[in-house]
Amino acid sequence: MPTPETSGLLAEQLLRLTRRLHRAQKRYMEPLGITPAQSRLLRTVAHDDQPPRMADLAQRLEVVPRAVTTLVDALEAHGSVRRVPDPTNRRVVRVELTDTGRSTLRALREARRSAAEDILAPLSDQQRDALGELLDTLSGASDHRC
């Protein structure tokens, strides 16, 4: 059974790695003119079959509605999203990707891959496979505990 010290050390290592990955991603995203929060919103919008409502975005991103408004404003100015009326309720505003937004998402995926490659460069293919399996195990375990 792991000791509390071991678990604490592992938690600290995971946090350091996460911060390092975020810094690398931010470095690759900067030339695209997109912040990590904007990137997250773009990915969330792209995930749905139909354009999500602003309120749904706030809930999924776990932020206040005003934060979504600010993000959508910036992404709209960037040309990546547009607000569209809901076809069944004119009081509801939905957010959809533009062609520029889809291009930006492709560039963001490449930026994320490049950042991950920077972090994973010291690992062999076998070590990467093992890490992937461990991360899958941890991701699945956390889903059952929440």
Tens of pLDDT, residue by residue over 100-135, are 999 999 999 999 999 999 999 999 999 999 999 998
Q: Which domains does the chain have, with CATH numbers?
A: 7-145 (1.10.10.10)
| 75 in Cβ contact with 41 (< 8 Å) | yes
Render pLDDT for 33-92 as a digit per residue (tens, 0 to 9).
Answer: 899 899 999 999 999 888 999 999 999 999 999 999 999 999 999 999 999 999 899 889
What b-and-e string marks burial along 47-56, b requiring 16 or more CB atoms within 10 Å of the CB? ebeebbbbeb
Question: Kindly report the CA angle at 63 between 115 and 106, in degrees rounded to 5?
Answer: 35
